[in-house]
Amino acid sequence: MTETEKNRAGRAVARAEAALRNGLELVGAAILSLLFAVVMAAVLRRYLFGGGFVWSDELAIWLHLALIAVGAPLAVTGTLAMRLDVLVRLLPAPLRKAAELLADAIAFHGAFVLAGGGLNVALLVGGQSTVLGLPEALRFAVFACGGGLTALALLLRAGRERGWAGAGASLVLGAALYGLAQLSVDFFPTPSLVAALVAGAGLLLGAPLPFALLAGVSLTGPFGGLLPEPAIVQTMVGGVGKFLLLAIPFFLLAGELLTEGGLAERLIRFAATLVGHWRAGLAQTALVASVLFSGASGSSVANAAFGAKVMAPTLVSRGYPPANAAAIVAGVSMLDNIIPPSIAFLILASATNLSVGSLLVGGFVAGGVLALALAIGIHLSVRGVVDAAPKASAAERGRALVGAIPAIGLGIVVVVGIRFGVVTVTEASALAVAYAVIACLALRSLNGRGVLAALRKSAAEAAAIGLLIGASAPFAFLLAVDRVSEQMAGLVTLFGAGPYAVMLLANLVLLVAGLFLDIGAAILLLAPLLLPVAVAAGLDPIQFGVVLVVNLMIHGLTPPLGILVYVVSGIMRVPAGAVFRAVLPLLGVLLAALMVLSLGMAAWPALAPALKALF
């Protein structure tokens, strides 16, 4: 084949890959639109006519499952593929190619588990759903289709990047691993260890985290694992088939609508009138804007992407080195998963059955402490940049506040509604979408193209998060069967079972685990193990849950995973290594804030009676 023919073939593959991606994004956007319509119709009927639709909850859950299945190929090849490839980049070229081949093989294996397991369950299961009367097999058939499309997306991506020989080698090796999982050998005492080793190897090689987890669980079969392939998919579907989790795509959509509609930029203007005259005023403006935007988004990744596009160029133009500007944007973005509404708290509540409303209140307290720490860190670390603006007058602040009220109001409505039991979390998230649409349309800042862009992006992000939650469910089942919680309890209470000792060791465990696990996976796997130990030590479960999320969110800024750093550096085209170095001062103050929160929580059992008696 001549060079011209190779280039023509490469362009054809790229077009096919783009067409598949665009088609899946459009289908995902349509499913998300229908999902919103179903939930919103039920909310309106409940509050206007005193009763909801009998079928709405079940249909909404089924649509959410379809969204995750359709978005699986996007989650394996897109920006949210959760690939830890920083170590692979350090390898020599031949070893790097071998690592990429193995990573794709593990991803193919995970896709085959999804396709084969979904098909097996669909063929075996009978009956109809309780309310809708639809065949139960449909729930699993969509995941079989999603697995097949994921394998196709992987093949196209590998063919474009490494040629068809490399893509075929990954496919064959993935099929071999899939065949190995069907064998039976001697019983292994702890199958979960096999799953952890395989998933860990896949993660280090750069395989997408959800598919590395699925491949790891699948390969426990020959070693006595209790989850055959159909059971893996059944457990996965059960893990994401919760009405509470519908809030995740809606909060993502509300944040995207605010960004597309320009309301997020109004928050920046208001923040600038408050702190723009301070030393490092523009960096402090980025911090305050992030605090305000947290009340509408709930997604640190979304805020990081927005800040990298809007705030970072302005910081650079004012004299901030690009790496420092990126570090500031990434650092302040971690607040979005702390200050309510927070997607991390929703994941924690689904994994532990803690009260979402109580977690949100705790998030306000923790968010305030972290915001103060970041303000101090920015003040102390910014050197050689003079960007203070003239102090805004009261009239200027008033006008900026009026302009920002539509965006600020969204967060207030959502959090107040949840905290006081007026609406459920899922209902509040749907109302947040409706609020964002109405506000943007009333201000004429959003058109049909902007709505479609927001739907496509939020659908892909929601599918990636949902796939991770689902893939973590069978892994967590293996941990429970192997009684890892008891071993974890022994580790955490190694130096005593008092609140201070448990808090210290739990933080150390989380700090180490967070280096290698995505925050969602870390919450789903570690929270159910650590929470009983914390409660046994006398710690308040809500407070412990808040500290757990704070601890893990800090790892959005730490190598090697550091998702917030990678998002910002990718958009700004700044080397990630330079951003990791520049973010060190902010990491220091965040760790100090974590210590303050942890000590306060550990001391609370002793202080609470005295404070109640005093007040």
Asked whether residue 39 carries a pLDDT value surpassing 50, the answer given is yes
Question: Residues 191-207: pLDDT tens digits?
Answer: 778 888 888 888 788 88
More reliable by pLDDT, 374 or 84:
374
Whether residue 266 is found in the same domain as residue 176: no
- Please check whether residue 468 lies inside any domain of the structure: no
- Please check whether residue 182 lies inside any domain of the structure: yes
Asked whether residue 608 carries a pLDDT value surpassing 60, the answer given is no
- Please check whether residue 593 lies inside any domain of the structure: yes
Asked whether residue 582 carries a pLDDT value surpassing 50, the answer given is yes
- Please check whether residue 477 lies inside any domain of the structure: no
Query: Across residues 148-161, what is the average pLDDT?
Result: 90
Of 226, 241, 256, which residue is a domain's last? 241
Question: Residues 568-578: pLDDT tens digits?
Answer: 876 777 877 78
Q: How far apart are the first and last CA of the chain?
A: 83
Whether residue 495 is found in the same domain as residue 510: yes
Check: CB of residue 118 under 8 Å from CB of residue 143.
Answer: yes
More reliable by pLDDT, 544 or 260:
544
Of 241, 272, 297, which residue is a domain's last? 241
Q: Residue 615's pLDDT is what?
A: 47
Percent of the chain having pLDDT more than 90?
18
Q: Residue 565's pLDDT is what?
A: 81
Its domain, for residue 167, covers: 3-241
Whether residue 229 is found in the same domain as residue 282: no
Domain count, the chain: 2
User: Cα–Cα distance between 550 and 598 in angstroms, integer?
Assistant: 10
Query: Across residues 350-374, what is the average pLDDT?
Result: 87
Whether residue 550 is found in the same domain as residue 564: yes
Whole-prediction pTM: 0.82
Whether residue 500 is found in the same domain as residue 561: yes
- Please check whether residue 272 lies inside any domain of the structure: yes
pLDDT band at 610 (very low <50, low <70, confident <90, very high): low
* Average pLDDT of the chain, as a whole number: 82
Whether residue 493 is found in the same domain as residue 577: yes
In the beta sheet, which residues pair with residue 128?
Answer: 135
Whether residue 174 is found in the same domain as residue 322: no
- Please check whether residue 454 lies inside any domain of the structure: no
Whether residue 201 is found in the same domain as residue 254: no
Whether residue 237 is found in the same domain as residue 252: no
Q: Residue 82's pLDDT is what?
A: 64
Percent of the chain having pLDDT more than 70?
89
Whether residue 179 is found in the same domain as residue 312: no
Question: Residues 418-441: pLDDT tens digits?
Answer: 767 677 778 888 888 888 888 888
Q: Which of 152-161, 357-366, 604-613 has the lowest mean pLDDT?
A: 604-613
Of 223, 241, 259, which residue is a domain's last? 241
- Please check whether residue 346 lies inside any domain of the structure: yes
Whether residue 233 is found in the same domain as residue 275: no
DSSP string, 540-609: -HHHHHHHHHHHHHHGGGSTTT-HHHHHHHHHHT--HHHHHHHTHHHHHHHHHHHHHHHHHHHHHHHHHH
The region, left, alpha or beta by phi > 0 then psi within -120 to 50, assigned to residue 206 is left
- Please check whether residue 167 lies inside any domain of the structure: yes
pLDDT band at 66 (very low <50, low <70, confident <90, very high): very high
Asked whether residue 487 carries a pLDDT value surpassing 80, the answer given is no
User: Cα–Cα distance between 514 and 331 in angstroms, integer?
Assistant: 16
Whether residue 329 is found in the same domain as residue 396: yes
Asked whether residue 223 carries a pLDDT value surpassing 80, the answer given is no
